[in-house]
Amino acid sequence: LPTKDSGNGAARRRPTIKMIAKLAKVAPSTVSRAINDEPSISEETRRRITRIADRMGFVPNVIARGLVTRRTNIVALILGVTRNPFYLEMIPVISAQLATRGMPLMIFRMSGQDRVEDTLATLARHQVSGCLIAAASLTPEAAAMCSRFNIPIVMINRLAEVQASSVNCNNREAGEQVGTLLRQEGRTRLAYVGGEGNAVTFQDSEREAGFARAAKAAGLAVPQRFAGAYSYEGGLAVAERLLATQRSFDGIFVANDIMAFGVIDGLRRAGIAIPRDVSVVGFDDLPEARWSAYDLTTVRQPIVTIVDRALSILDRHLSEEAAPAESVIVRAELIRRGTTL
Amino acid sequence: LPTKDSGNGAARRRPTIKMIAKLAKVAPSTVSRAINDEPSISEETRRRITRIADRMGFVPNVIARGLVTRRTNIVALILGVTRNPFYLEMIPVISAQLATRGMPLMIFRMSGQDRVEDTLATLARHQVSGCLIAAASLTPEAAAMCSRFNIPIVMINRLAEVQASSVNCNNREAGEQVGTLLRQEGRTRLAYVGGEGNAVTFQDSEREAGFARAAKAAGLAVPQRFAGAYSYEGGLAVAERLLATQRSFDGIFVANDIMAFGVIDGLRRAGIAIPRDVSVVGFDDLPEARWSAYDLTTVRQPIVTIVDRALSILDRHLSEEAAPAESVIVRAELIRRGTTL
DNA sequence: CTGAAAGCGCTTACAG
DNA sequence: CTGAAAGCGCTTACAG
């Protein structure tokens, strides 16, 4: 009787080193060595084998290889719950840098009430070699799992609550620079717009602290803090509250660009001119910051450098079992554009 | 002699079904069946085994499983070279929908002169079960590789040059609706802004064709075509050329939002009021389209629906060896906002 | 309901 | 320089 899929036919099996070995009349181990360019193989054998392999369209099964070498070289990116496009933009950069190392990227995006721990179990299941965590924090439980599963991690843009490698910007200094800039412009009534509730990130508080320090150094009052969701809509809502305040601010530092756009649009709707009436500064330097509708003065997070550092650290953890955790601070640069004087 | 990494100690091996089998005094096959909830196992044995597995922090090695089942359940997303954030936004949606199926997502972003074929070999190496291709076209060679490697694919937002599954919007009808809208507003001097050179996508031409059809039906001249890179800067450059033209246009349809923002900013810089002097319509409905600085009338591509359809098709290809290629057309909706009257 | 055996496609000591 | 054998961590007919 014909089987059910006799029409198309069961997919032809992909060629294996065993099949090549038979054709080349050598042992599978010899094929393996030839394929992997081991120096022990004679030039002639290697050529014969690779020619046969190419002719058959052989592609090594790295999953089988990974099973024996205990190393998949897969890097996972865990993305926390965020609506900040900054983290989405990191993806192509990570992907490109990993591609040069021949390491594939797996994406795990947390949603709703997911706990990092659950995501980590999935990583372990898939035997990923290393893990980047962005826009999420590392709970002690999660850190414990990583070390139990022996998955090295590096936190991006977030300090671990626990001993772990990380790469961050010099948030505090950058915040201070922003304060200094506003002061130089003659701004005296400063406000800071950050996240709300317990969603406030460490970077957020650092930026605020630096900003406050500059204010203090200039003899100004501590900048008043406004809180909103880290999103355009969050910024819009904050703008309303800024406007409702008795005090009128003339210098506003917003924790990230995505909120800053909302703040700007909210203020403009009310007829406020930027930067004439008020200066606004963001953080991240999203592509939209250059758009002439905003032309936002902001602090650039050097994505390429950040990713480069993160992967260097990961490389080290992958090659040295006991490489110590390291924290790298990357310099963020203040970019002056049209929302300041 | 102590080994090199005696300090930290070689990472403890992760527990395997073999270790669990020994502790539970059963065969590894029994552990496997218990872990996989096979009905044949007795309730008592299963409980004993799972308790031991949990206590040891056992996590199944899906790579080993994949080796024998010949199925990793990994889905790859190949992203073509594009600066349109629309495709980046698709990532979290795909990731979320795959997560509910327990399928991990691997990202492969093409860069520069990469050929889809090279990327496909990498997919095959990693034994991905299926593949989504967005913002890149499927060359006949690539299609041949997919069928040789037995990797089902579905094209997103791009028709295959070759028999393959795909999901697209009704680009032509949407373009026609845009034309009709502009006509109803009394616009008579229409322009279309699309991609340049041989980078023009099929969707682009479809949108233009629909737009032209509406113009014709209304007795208007064929919309003049302007070409730019699919990016904000591309739109900005087009705006200059629009302004340099003798003819003044009063209705402009731009192939995608990211260019539309550039066109708008370019026109505004020249003092042109939108929509008073000219109506502008985009395509995609990026988040920025709602921002009050733009408030862009545009055609919404329903990302969630698109991804849902794409994964349904992929599911079918994964369960039925010989499932026929299918092309789904999803309805895109015209969203009227402030850049039209 | 459970076990023993074979095997998925590779790599890697160990011999020679 | 090459081969035979064992094994990575699982699953799956086949027996019983």
The two beta strands, B298-300 and B333-335, are antiparallel
- Which DSSP helix (H) or strand (E) runs through A241? helix A232-244
pLDDT of residue B111: 83
Nearest-CA distance A44 → chain B (Å): 26
Q: Using the beta-carbon criterion (under 8 Å), do A104 and B126 form an inter-chain contact? A: yes
**Angle, to 10 degrees, between the axis of helix B62-69 and the axis of helix A62-69?**
140
Considering all nucleic acid strands, name the nucleotide whose C1' atom is nearest to the C-alpha of residue A19: C9
pLDDT value at B306 more than 70: yes
Considering all nucleic acid strands, name the nucleotide whose C1' atom is nearest to the C-alpha of residue B20: D9
pLDDT of residue A159: 75
- Whether the CB of A61 is less than 7 Å away from nucleic strand C comes out as yes
The residue among B143 and A304 whose pLDDT is bigger is A304
pLDDT of residue B4: 32
| B119-123, B154-158, B178-182, B245-249, range with greatest mean pLDDT | B178-182
pLDDT value at B198 more than 90: no
Measured to protein CB atoms, the chain C nucleotides within 7 Å are: 1-5, 7-13
Protein residue nearest nucleotide C7, by CA to C1': B68
Phi, psi of A21 (to 5 degrees): -55, -45
End-to-end Cα spacing for chain A: 83
Measured to protein CB atoms, the chain D nucleotides within 7 Å are: 1-5, 7-13
pLDDT of residue A4: 32
Q: Which of A60, A88, A287 sits opposite B125 (nearest CB)?
A: A60
Collapse the DSSP code of A90 into the 3-class scheme (helix H, G, I; strand E, B; otherwise coil) and give the result: helix
Mean of pLDDT values over B179-192? 97
Protein residue nearest nucleotide C8, by CA to C1': B68
- Whether the CB of B64 is less than 7 Å away from nucleic strand C comes out as yes
Q: Using the beta-carbon criterion (under 8 Å), do A12 and B148 form an inter-chain contact? A: yes
Task: Give the integer Cα–Cα distance in Å for A298 and A288.
Answer: 11
Q: Is the peptide bond before B275 cis (omega within 30 degrees of 0)?
A: yes
Q: Using the beta-carbon criterion (under 8 Å), do B95 and A109 form an inter-chain contact? A: yes
Per-state percent for chain B, helix, strand, coil, to nearest 5? 45, 15, 40
Task: Give the integer Cα–Cα distance in Å for A143 and A318.
Answer: 17
The angle at the Cα of B65, spanning B107 to B15, to the nearest 5 degrees, equals 105
Does the predicted model carry a pTM greater than 0.85? Answer: yes
Task: Give the integer Cα–Cα distance in Å for A332 and A303.
Answer: 10
- Whether the CB of A302 is less than 7 Å away from nucleic strand C comes out as no
Interface test with A, best of B78, B107, B163, B269 (most A CBs within 10 A): B107
Residues of B in contact with A293 (CB under 8 A): 261, 264-265, 268, 293-294
Mean of pLDDT values over A10-28? 89
Q: Please name the residue that has the structure tokens 């400063």.
A: A190
Using a 7 Å CB cut-off, which residues contact strand D? A 25-30, 33, 39-46, 64, 67-68, 70; B 13-14, 16-18, 28-29, 32-33, 35-36, 58, 60-61, 64-65, 67-69
pLDDT value at B8 more than 60: no
- Whether the CB of A14 is less than 7 Å away from nucleic strand C comes out as yes
Return mean pLDDT, chain B. Answer: 92
Which of A310-319, B10-19, B189-198 is predicted least confidently?
Answer: B10-19
* Nucleotide D2 C1' to residue A38 CA (A): 13
Q: Are A74 and A126 in contact (CB under 8 A)?
A: yes
Mean of pLDDT values over B21-49? 95
pLDDT of residue B11: 57
Compute how many other C-beta atoms are within 10 angstroms of the C-beta atom of residue B339: 22
pLDDT value at A119 more than 50: yes
Q: Using the beta-carbon criterion (under 8 Å), do B321 and A5 form an inter-chain contact? A: yes
Task: Give the integer Cα–Cα distance in Å for A183 and A188.
Answer: 7
* Nucleotide D3 C1' to residue B143 CA (A): 39
Q: How confident is the model at residue B9 (pLDDT cuts 50, 70, 90)?
A: very low
Mean of pLDDT values over A309-328? 93
pLDDT of residue A154: 95
Phi, psi of B240 (to 5 degrees): -60, -45
Share of chain A above pLDDT 90, in %: 83
pLDDT value at B7 more than 60: no
pLDDT in tens, A160-189: 667 899 999 999 999 999 999 999 999 999
The residue among B200 and A262 whose pLDDT is bigger is A262
Q: Which of A88, A111, A265 sits opposite B292 (nearest CB)?
A: A265
Q: Which two tokens stand for residue B18?
A: 């073999």
Which of A139-143, A293-297, B257-261 is predicted least confidently?
Answer: A139-143
Residues of B in contact with A11 (CB under 8 A): 150, 321
Residues of B in contact with A107 (CB under 8 A): 91, 95, 105-107
Task: Give the integer Cα–Cα distance in Å for B159 and B327.
Answer: 9
The residue among B178 and B2 whose pLDDT is bigger is B178
Q: Are A182 and A215 in contact (CB under 8 A)?
A: no
Interface test with B, best of A35, A109, A286 (most B CBs within 10 A): A109
Task: Give the integer Cα–Cα distance in Å for A58 and B59.
Answer: 32
Share of chain B above pLDDT 70, in %: 96
Q: How far is CA B248 from CA A24, B65, B72, B153, B213, in A?
A: 71, 65, 57, 45, 21
Question: What are the beta bridge partners of residue B87?
Answer: none
Interface test with A, best of B70, B106, B114, B146 (most A CBs within 10 A): B106
Considering all nucleic acid strands, name the nucleotide whose C1' atom is nearest to the C-alpha of residue A42: D1
pLDDT of residue B13: 83
Minimal CA–CA distance to B287: which of A305, A257, A313? A257
pLDDT value at B255 more than 80: yes
Q: Are B195 and B229 in contact (CB under 8 A)?
A: yes
Considering all nucleic acid strands, name the nucleotide whose C1' atom is nearest to the C-alpha of residue B67: C8
Q: Using the beta-carbon criterion (under 8 Å), do A148 and B269 form an inter-chain contact? A: no
Q: Which of B126, B149, B264 sits opposite A14 (nearest CB)?
A: B149
pLDDT in tens, A226-284: 999 999 999 999 999 999 997 789 999 999 999 999 999 999 999 999 999 999 999 99
Q: Using the beta-carbon criterion (under 8 Å), do A14 and B293 form an inter-chain contact? A: no
Q: How confident is the model at residue B339 (pLDDT cuts 50, 70, 90)?
A: very high
The residue among B1 and A105 whose pLDDT is bigger is A105
- Whether the CB of A237 is less than 7 Å away from nucleic strand C comes out as no
Q: Using the beta-carbon criterion (under 8 Å), do B61 and A232 form an inter-chain contact? A: no
Question: What are the beta bridge partners of residue B328?
Answer: B167
pLDDT in tens, B75-134: 999 999 899 999 999 999 999 999 999 999 999 999 877 888 888 999 999 999 999 999
Q: Using the beta-carbon criterion (under 8 Å), do A111 and B99 form an inter-chain contact? A: yes
Q: How confident is the model at residue B1 (pLDDT cuts 50, 70, 90)?
A: very low
- Whether the CB of B70 is less than 7 Å away from nucleic strand C comes out as yes
* Nucleotide C10 C1' to residue A88 CA (A): 36
pLDDT value at A3 more than 50: no
Residues of B in contact with A261 (CB under 8 A): 291, 293
